A and B are shown apart, each in its own frame.
Chain A
Amino acid sequence: MSCDQPPLKTSADLLRDRAADRPVATLSEVFSETAADGAVTGFTLANLDPAHGPLLWIMDRITRKECGIPYLAGFPREWEVIRVDVSRPVDVLWSAEQGLGTPALGGVIAEVWGDPPVLDFTATKRLALRAEANGVPCWLLRRAAQPALSAARERWRVSSLPSGNHPWDSRAPGQPHWKVELFRSRFRAPGTWVARYDAERHHMDLDPPVAQVRTPDAAAV
């Protein structure tokens, strides 16, 4: 009689197990390469859905000055937004926690400039647990920041790419393209994609970048 050992799990199996009990909403962090890049805002909005409820948008003072305020005329859909203007990062975190305790919200976007000491592992863990408990997605937008220790379940780095072709005007910028890099994730394998966003349908396609696609071809040749 032998007590057979359970087969050793590969890292992919572990990820798959985790992906199975992935919560509907969680804390994600988005870093931007340059401070005033609209790609971060666009990518965050592309991941949210106005049908789920109003959006709580919390900004600190420097973000408001450097990156501007949300402009609903340019949003892909009609969206209900409650904007909170605070000056200190600790107030951003407090307001975000209050918002995450309200299940009626469709999402919380918190923008923090730089690396304030209050935004540590404990603070992000609190946000992540609250978001998962109440099912409200929380997006922490970080600008001019270093990706230090954090409990965010998914951490992205987003930057703009030259846009797609405009259907009628070859000189005009067309569909937005972003380079999105998932550099830390709890539920899926990290990777880099080119995101193509269709504002008409409010839908984002993630394609592997051309460089990665070409690699097997090059190996075959």
Chain B
Amino acid sequence: MRTEDKLPVLASHRPTTPDPRAQAGGSAPETPASGFHNDSRDLIARPNLDASPGRPLPLLPEPSGERDPLARRITCLHLPRFSIERWLRIMDRQGEPVSDTLPAALAVEGRHGAVIHATTRAAEAAGIRRGARVVDMRALCPDLRVDYADLQGDRMMLQRLMLWARRWCPWTALDGAAGLVMDTTGSDHLCGGEGPMLRDMEERLSHLGLSADLATAPTHGAAWALSRLGGVRETCPPERLAERMAPLPVRALRLDGDTVLLLQRLGLKTVGDLAAVPRLSLARRFARAELERNPLLRLDQMMGRRAEPVEAPEDPPRFAVESRLPEPVEDPAPHLPALTAALCARLEAAGFGARRVVLTVYRTDGAVSRVEVAMARASREAAHILRLFEGKLEGIDPGFGFDQIALGATVAEELPRVQARLDGTGGEGTEIARLTDRLAARHGGRTVSRPRLRESHKPERRELWTAALGPAGRPARPAAQPRPLRLLEPPEEVAVLYAVPEGPPAQFVWRRRTHRVMRYAGPERIAPEWWRDRPETRLRDYYRVEDQGGRRIWLYRDGVLTDGFGRDPNWFIHGVHG
């Protein structure tokens, strides 16, 4: 009997590669470490577990049936120059590449002015340090180029990178501001082992313009330490873990700066020093400290005595439907209603709504065409999506016909079911959003815009017209000062006669018509925004004038004669009052 033979074998056998989900799920409290003593109070009650000084930390005896805490393989990926490399890539794409030899740095706002956040290699060679103040570093290196860091953009890019890294293993998660952690248990053989896998990761990241430090170790803490402080693409087998960790400095324990300083003052310079200290003393000293300040807990995490599973967020859902046609067709339009209905049914089942829908048609000769529509508000109403495609399918060249049609929601948002009104129709906001969608689908997304208020006292910067399909900003409000109803973009230069150079205009010629100034109000002086404008920008004196026909015009003199720029100031018309 085969089954009877097998059963006792299975019962006594401890799987070497356990089911990764059980550990990676992160929610299971009975993960390996719960069998080990991670609570300091528990430790005090059992002094026999103390690591005796002088010998490496012993691996705790495993109760039978428990999983080996060091059986996992965790890969840490550290991107030491993530911000600056992303910035260099953006500059490159914008057509103004930054030379490798030019020292450049990114800054963030610190407590006393801007501080350096990231540096290029050239800047580092010039002595620019992270965390130093920008003014100090400018003194050190006068031709330092400083730009502001886009921390939120970095975070979003790292999120995308995390999903991108799921090509190597299904469980990846963020690790700090510039790192990823991956549970590569059992997936390294797909690349031919751990060494080739790390090399593959490094190569693919370098194609993205990112330099990376990688390491694989049995625990997250050890992999973190090795990626930052270890060798190039280091892999650490479980049996050499304690030996490899011992010479690393205590900052390899992911502790905060104060605790590292404290440990150094106590004479504990390396992980080995710390491990040699009796557990009881450490537990007593750091009993109430949080994880980031608790060397004992961090040491336990590093050595696998305390569980730290990789908590990988779920993949974002994808919505796409397609239909393969037995015979090529010339016109995809008749197939669209069924596809749209199927897509909307899927969206509804998942509680999502589409913001952007792409129709992809595959021609028999291999050519692929795409038609994209966007929506101001997430929607899963088939009739509305279908209407946006109206008139857009004529532009597709059918050739010898299409044999495959796919419809996918490339951007989807959660859309709970709500009922705005008792009669079931959508509210007013829905109607307006639908209208914006139709207009944008017909004329292009940029043509439909809404005003957004900005923090600026320059008239043309005060309101920014942004695409109505994008996120809504602060709505524009009337200003406290009298302002024109319409603003000319850009301001039009006019020839002006005046009695005194600093005074109001007496007469001006605008669009070949002479306007005599009958009444005026002003000047209202608007200074340039020195934090945003170029240094040669002059101040403006605005006048509200009325001409002989009663037309009320808003014009300004760009600068005054004595402001040191030399040139005679020019006059510009900037707006028309009602």
Do B575 and A91 touch (CB < 8 A)? Answer: no
> Within the assembled complex, what's the spacing in Å between the Cα atoms of A177 and B520?
16
Binds A, one of B16-24, B80-88, B222-230, B472-480: B472-480
Apart from the given pairs A43-B578, A54-B432, 10 other A-B contacts in the complex at a CB distance below 8 Å: A37-B576, A42-B578, A73-B462, A74-B484, A85-B443, A85-B447, A85-B449, A86-B447, A98-B435, A163-B546
Query: B578 to nearest A CB, angstroms?
Result: 2
CA distance A34 to B575 in the complex (A): 15
Closest to B547 in A: A160
Closest to A161 in B: B550
Pull 14 A–B residue pairs with CB atoms less than 8 Å apart, ordered by A.
A39-B578, A41-B485, A70-B486, A73-B483, A80-B450, A82-B432, A85-B443, A91-B443, A101-B435, A102-B434, A104-B432, A159-B550, A173-B520, A173-B544
Hey, which chain B residues are within 8 Å of A53, CB to CB? 428
Q: Which residues of B have CB within 8 Å of A94?
A: 442
The CA of A34 and the CA of B576, in the complex, are separated in Å by 12
Across the interface, A83 reaches (CB within 8 A) one of B429, B450, B544, B577, namely: B450
Contact B475 A80 (CB under 8 A): yes
Contact across chains for A73 and B486 when beta carbons are under 8 A apart:
no
- The B interface is mostly helix, strand or loop, or mixed, namely mixed
Contacts of A75 in B (CB 8 A): 478, 485
- A2-10, A115-123, A164-172, A213-221 - interface stretch: A164-172
Min CB–CB distance B317 → chain A (angstroms): 31
For B448, the closest partner residue in chain A by CB is: A84
Does any Cβ of B come within 8 Å of A26's Cβ?
no
Give B395-418 as 1s and 0s: 1 = Cβ < 8 Å from A's Cβ atoms.
Answer: 000000000000000000000000
The complex places the Cα of A63 from the Cα of B576 at a distance, in Å, of 13
Q: For residue A103, which residue of chain B has the nearest CB? A: B431
Q: Across the interface, do B577 and A38 meet the contact criterion of CB distance under 8 Å? A: yes
User: In the complex, which residues 537-554 of chain B have their Cβ closer than 8 Å to any Cβ of chain A?
Assistant: 544-546, 549-552
Give CA–CA (A76, B486) in the complex, Å: 12
* Distance in angstroms between the alpha carbons of A162 and B547 in the assembled complex: 8
* CB-contact partner of B551 in A37, A77, A105, under 8 A: A37
Q: Once the chains are docked, how many angstroms separate the CA of A81 from the CA of B429?
A: 13
- List 9 tightest A-B contacts by C-beta distance, closest first: A42-B578, A172-B521, A74-B483, A160-B550, A73-B479, A104-B428, A72-B476, A38-B576, A68-B486
User: Which residue of B476, B477, B478, B550 is within 8 Å of A162 (Cβ)?
Assistant: B550
Shortest B503–chain A CB gap in Å is 12
A105–B434 alpha-carbon span in the complex (Å): 12
Contacts of B520 in A (CB 8 A): 171-173
CB nearest neighbor in A for B451: A72
Q: Report A201 CB to chain B, min CB distance, Å.
A: 14
The answer to whether A206 has its CB under 8 Å from any CB of chain B is no
Which among A56, A161, A172, A177 is the interface contact of B519 at CB below 8 angstroms?
A172
Please give the distance in Å from A4's CB to the nearest CB on chain B: 50
> What residues on B are CB-neighbors of A173 within 8 Å?
519-521, 544-546, 552, 577
Indicate the member of A103, A169, A173 with the most B CB atoms within 10 Å. Answer: A173
Note all chain B residues with C-beta closer than 8 A to A197: 578
- Complex contacts, A45 vs chain B, CB 8 Å: 485, 578
Specify which chain A residues have a CB less than 8 angstroms from the CB of B551 in the assembled complex: 34, 36-39, 160
Q: Is the CB of B475 within 8 A of A78?
A: yes
Within 8 Å CB of A114, what residues of B?
A: none
Q: Which chain B residues lie closer than 8 Å to A36 at the CB level? A: 511, 551, 576
A77 to chain B: closest residue by CB? B478
A60 to B578, CA, bound (A): 20
B465 interfacial by beta-carbon distance below 8 Å: yes
Q: What's the nearest-Cβ distance from chain B to residue A43, in Å?
A: 8
| B439 and A84 form a contact (CB under 8 A) | yes
A160 touches B521 (CB 8 A): no
Contact A69 B487 (CB under 8 A): yes
In the bound complex, do residue B576 and residue A67 qualify as a contact, i.e. CB atoms below 8 Å apart?
yes
Q: Is the C-beta of B340 less than 8 angstroms from some C-beta in chain A?
A: no
Measured between C-beta atoms, what is the minimum distance from B234 to chain A in Å?
57
Partner of A38 from the list B431, B449, B545, B578 (CB cut-off 8 Å) is B578
Residues of chain B lying within 8 A (CB to CB) of residue A171: 519-521
Q: Is the Cβ of B489 less than 8 Å from the Cβ of A74? A: no
CA A80 to CA B429, docked complex, whole Å:
12
Q: How far is the CB of B244 from chain A (nearest CB, A)?
A: 63
Q: Is the CB of B443 within 8 A of A56?
A: no
Q: Which B residues between 358 and 396 are near A, CB-CB below 8 angstroms?
A: none
Inter-chain CA distance A104–B270, complex, in Å, is 69
Docked pose: A74 CA to B428 CA in angstroms: 26
1/0 contact string of A149-190 vs chain B (CB within 8 Å): 000000000011111001001011100110000000000000
Q: Is A28 an interface residue (CB 8 A)?
A: no
CB-CB under 8 A for A81 and B576, given A70-B486, A166-B521: no
Are B436 and A72 closer than 8 Å at their CB atoms?
Answer: no
A75 CA to B477 CA in the complex, in Å? 8
CB contacts under 8 Å to A, within B441-496, are 442-443, 447-451, 459, 462-463, 465, 468, 475-479, 482-489
A78 to B520, CA, bound (A): 26
**Is B298 among interface residues, defined by CB-CB distance under 8 A?**
no
